[in-house]
Amino acid sequence: MLYPEIAPRMTGMLSRDDGHEIYWEEVGNPDGIPVIFLHGGPGAGISPNSRRFFDPEKYRVILFDQRGSGKSKPFGSLENNTTDHLIGDIEALRESRGIDKWLVFGGSWGSTLALAYGQACPDRVLAFVLRGIFLGRETEIAWFMDGMGRFFPEVERSFLATAGFDAHPGWQRMLDRYAEIFAGKDGEDAAIDAARVWSAYEATCCTLLPDHGLVEDFEGDEIALALAKLEHHYFVHRCFFEPDQLLRNLNRISHLPAVIVQGRYDVVCPPMSAFELHNAWAGSKMVIVDDAGHAASEPGIVRELVRATDSFDGKNFAGN
């Protein structure tokens, strides 16, 4: 269902004034519809399959590793790493690639960042394709820390034990304890082990059916160390949002087309947030995938994301 594997036509590093270097790559038709791919996490980085949701004859696809992720440098850095910094990186990348407007594609945390970017720069967006909606609210953070384990109690046991708990102490106490571990209070090895446990816990909860390959990928150093540290960092700071910011500011982008793809059995980002977003966005289209959880790799999610990108032809953007 994905488009065939494709290698980047171009890659590069975008240097930022605050010391970060952002890895980017471009695939597809240089004269096609521009689209920016925003990965999840924060901290997950892009993968070769990230390129394959788009018809390479139709789209000019720009992908990048967000600050601290993947090939961007410095790896795992929390310094100067906020939502506003990421929005600035997206705008700098757009300008450097000579793009006026683009379609914004993002899943999970990528949906959060897509909405935040769109609300900051609405004149630069053609449309949105969003998956696994996360609105960065305290209730959603609390669910991640204290709710997912109701469906995966056997995996939550390791998540709790790594923090030194036999029973759940509450989501804020879990955040505080992981802050101590990631800061090195228990030693460097403990911090690395905790990052792997955090990432494996999330990966296990991501899919409707077990996907051991996904869990192994998330446990690897390339993802685990950045994913756990950066997710925790953004959770502690409530994603650098005011309460309900993304819903309150939806009027800035509600004139733009949007397709929302949501797994019915998404345990990481439960469907309620997707329904709230869709109900507040009159022009949005929502597709519920009844045989999927959270992961972009699940067949039903892949099918609907590709259908969504295929549905745009340049004539159905706002103003055309």
Helix (H) or strand (E) holding 129: strand 125-131
Residue tagged active-site, from 108, 199, 273, 284? 108
Instruction: State phi, psi for 67 to the nearest 5 degrees.
Output: -45, 130
What span, in angstroms and rounded, lies between the C-alpha atoms of 250 and 54? 26
Residue tagged active-site, from 266, 273, 278, 284? 266
Q: Beta strand pairing status for 258-263 and 102-107?
A: unpaired
What span, in angstroms and rounded, lies between the C-alpha atoms of 279 and 259? 13
**3-state SS, residue 130:** strand
Residue tagged active-site, from 20, 233, 278, 294? 294
Please give the torsion angle defined by the CA atoms of residues 308, 311, 312 and 317, in that order, rounded to the nearest 10 degrees: -90
Residue 66: both structure tokens together: 């967000």
Please, which residues bridge with residue 104 across strands?
Answer: 36, 128
Active-site residue, 108 included: yes
Q: Beta strand pairing status for 21-28 and 33-38?
A: unpaired
A 10 A CB-CB count for 12 gives: 16
- What's the gap between Cα 248 and its chain centre? 21
Active-site residue, 266 included: yes
Active-site residue, 212 included: no
- Written as one string, the DSSP assignment of 137-192 is -HHHHHHHHHTGGGT-HHHHHHHHHHTT-SS---HHHHHHHHHHHHTTTT-HHHHH
Residues with a catalytic annotation lie at: 108, 266, 294
